[in-house]
Structure 1
């Protein structure tokens, strides 16, 4: 029995070590919940309990399964599928028993940063149609994202411009993009620079 427990402890330690080494290569479309510490600190503090996932009223958060993408059992969301809805009470952070999620004001979140990643697909940028769905979806419209007038390189008259000082990385803009498939505006996770 003792040898089985020891083997389990060694296995968990090796998995945690491998997961920690992978943290610098995490996919940028897998975004941590609001208030997540920097990745190395987060992985040390998160006990993979899933309480943040249970507390999310929008079913935004998921626990990573065994894969090479994310450390197993850690919470994340994918903006295009289900963005963070910027709850004022931040129930996911409030549910965290270890301090891996620390945030008192939702507008101070730094989960990621939106960018017009494929302007050639953006209706407003190309002039195909006036679209401001990303702007309308932003909870900090006029601050985090604005529609900048002016002729674009592709013939449009407006383009979405993101202000990194205000963008929380919630992903509501990406989820609202009217394009089929990949969005023209995407959120890249801030794994190394959160908080």
Structure 2
């Protein structure tokens, strides 16, 4: 009788140990998939919210996870996040390198949103601020190498407003010009067309959330060339009305 009890206990122990091993293995597999998925999402681009999305946690709290905005998107741009996605499960997002926002004039995703997580006051798609395009790698940008590539500039829906080409001197040759893509935050909608069209193997221009892309200079700085700055308490005396050459020696190469 004692032997039977011992054998039964041993079988129960082995069975429980096997179940534990299977459970640990399954958990490790899930964690591995999550890690790989997270790495894939990171390498593929930053997840961007739809037009009119409320900021940060406000969007996560207001979104019903209904998927109506995803259904309303005619270009299959928007996706619903899963448990393995880099944003809250059930919420909409898109990755610009895969499918950018096509900037629909009627903004169907916003119209379809029943909760206001996508702000219904957005009626002009040009006013949307989904993110901000940033030229993140000058070393790999073809224009910075002295080659002529203006793809990101050409595909921009707000060409010459959101992205311009600014000429600078090519320091390597000394006399050629380089035309550098320059993003203007007051016009960029974050649609991601520039990132999707970038011809490099890994895009050198990417759309990221505005709070990551933008700094803040501080309200105490005054830019005299943008607006007239009044003198305060005589802190800044008037500049003498004299020619600079009267007091500054110009180096003309002669001793």
Instruction: Give 1:112-151 correspondences, 5 Å limit.
Output: 112-127=131-146, 129-151=147-169
TM-score normalised over the length of structure 2 = 0.61
* CA RMSD, Structure 1 to Structure 2 (Å): 1.9
Whole-angstrom distance in 2 between the partners of 1:49 and 1:154: 55
Alignment of 1:65-144 (within 5 A): 65-67=82-84, 69-102=86-119, 103-127=122-146, 129-144=147-162
SS of residue in 2 equivalent to 1:77? strand
Q: How many residues in Structure 1 have an aligned counterpart in Structure 2?
A: 165
Quick one: structure 1 residues 133 and 62, their matched pair in 2 at CA, closer, same or farther if it must change by over 3 Å?
A: same
* Distance in 2 (alpha carbons) for counterparts of 1:116 and 1:154: 21
Using the TM superposition, give the Cα deviation of residue 67 of structure 1 relative to its aligned residue in structure 2, in angstroms: 2.8
Structure with bigger gyration radius: 2
* Unpaired stretches in structure 1, ≥5 consecutive residues: 1-26
Higher RCO (CA-CA < 8 Å; seq separation 6+)? 1
Alignment of 1:1-195 (within 5 A): 29-67=46-84, 69-102=86-119, 103-127=122-146, 129-151=147-169, 157-180=178-201, 182-190=202-210
Shift of 1:184: 1.1
Deviation of 1:80 after TM superposition, in Å, equals 0.8
Rounded to whole Å, the distance in 2 between the matches of 1:66 and 1:46 is 16
Could you say if the C-alpha distance between residues 154 and 55 of structure 1 is closer, same or farther in structure 2, counting changes exceeding 3 Å? farther
Tell me the TM-score normalised to structure 1 length. Answer: 0.79
In structure 2, what is the Cα distance between the partners aligned to 1:66 and 1:188? Answer: 22
In 1, Cα distance between the equivalents of 2:65 and 2:107? 18
Structure 2 stretches lacking a partner, 5+ long: 1-41, 214-255
SS in 2 for 1:69: coil
Q: Distance in 1 between matches of 2:76 and 2:170?
A: 38
For structure 1, which segment, 183-192 or 49-58, has the greater mean C-alpha deviation from structure 2 after superposition? 183-192
How far 1:132 sits from its partner (Å)?
A: 0.4
